[in-house]
Every structure is written in structure tokens, then in C-alpha cells.
Amino acid sequence: MLEFKPEYSVGVARIDAQHRKLFQWVNEREQAMGQGRGRDVLEKVLGGLVAYTREHFAAEEELMLKTSYPELAQHKAAHDGFIRRTAEFQQRHQAGELGVSVELVSWLGDWIRNHVLGMDKRYAPHMAARKVA
């Protein structure tokens, strides 16, 4: 289970709340797997995850654009890669491929931790300096 800890905060309340929601998506999936209902909720989780991350990524990128964040292009490329990879998981699930749920949860947890603690934390000082909270 992913826990949103203080070190995950980027200091922007709206973005932190969205990150908490992403953690919730992962945890919902893990709970369903533990209860033997993984495949039943996978489509819902994937569909919601795709829609939600598009919204979240757009919000982050808008803030970066408004504040002239110098690493916006690299950050957007990482977001685009996430969306492509999630779409691949959706296609594999719809094709009936087994093992997608376990692979998805592992990849998603790693991606979120690494992205938030890596790329997202890099923009925190930039946002703080511009009084974005």
C-alpha cells in the first residue's frame, strides 16, 4: 500500500491533493487484488486512472507554464510516457492478457513514487519561490 507521506508534498495544496488521489487509485487496486477481485475492478481503475492522470497532468503543466518552469518539456514528456504506458495496460487487459493487474500495480506504484519524489519534487522550490501554494 502506498502512503502519502510528508516527503511526497510539493508544497502546492491542489497538486498534493491530486497526488493523494493517485495513491488512492493504487491502493484500491491492491485491496481488490488481496480480496480476489482484481480482474473485476481493473477496467474501472484503468479507465479512471487514465482520465484522472490527464486532468492532474494538465493541472501541473498549466502551473509550470504560468510560472515559466524551465523543465516543463521534460516533465510533459514523462507525463506523456505515463499516459502511453497506461493505455498499453488497458489494451492488454481488454485483450484478456493474464497478469496485467499485478504488473500494473507494481509499475504504477514505482512510477508514482519515483515521479513524485524525483521530477515533481524538483519543481517544488520553483513554485515556492513564486508563492504558489
Helix 100-115 with 72-94: angle, nearest 10 deg: 170
Mean pLDDT of 69-90: 94
Mean pLDDT of 13-35: 84
Please, what CATH class does the domain formed by 6-129 belong to? Answer: mainly alpha
The pLDDT, as a whole number, for residue 34 is 73
> What is the rounded CA–CA span in Å between residue 112 and residue 91?
21
Query: Grid coordinates in use for 76?
Result: 510533459
Please say if the pLDDT value at position 39 is more than 90: no
Confidence category of residue 15, pLDDT binned at 50, 70, 90? very high
Contact 49, 86 (CB under 8 A): yes
Query: Grid coordinates in use for 24?
Result: 488512492
pTM: 0.86
Contact 126, 67 (CB under 8 A): yes
Confidence category of residue 81, pLDDT binned at 50, 70, 90? very high
> What is the rounded CA–CA span in Å between residue 69 and residue 52?
23
> What is the rounded CA–CA span in Å between residue 12 and residue 10?
6
The pLDDT mean for the chain works out to: 88
The pLDDT, as a whole number, for residue 38 is 63
C-alpha distances out from residue 6 to 3, 30, 108, Å: 10, 22, 20
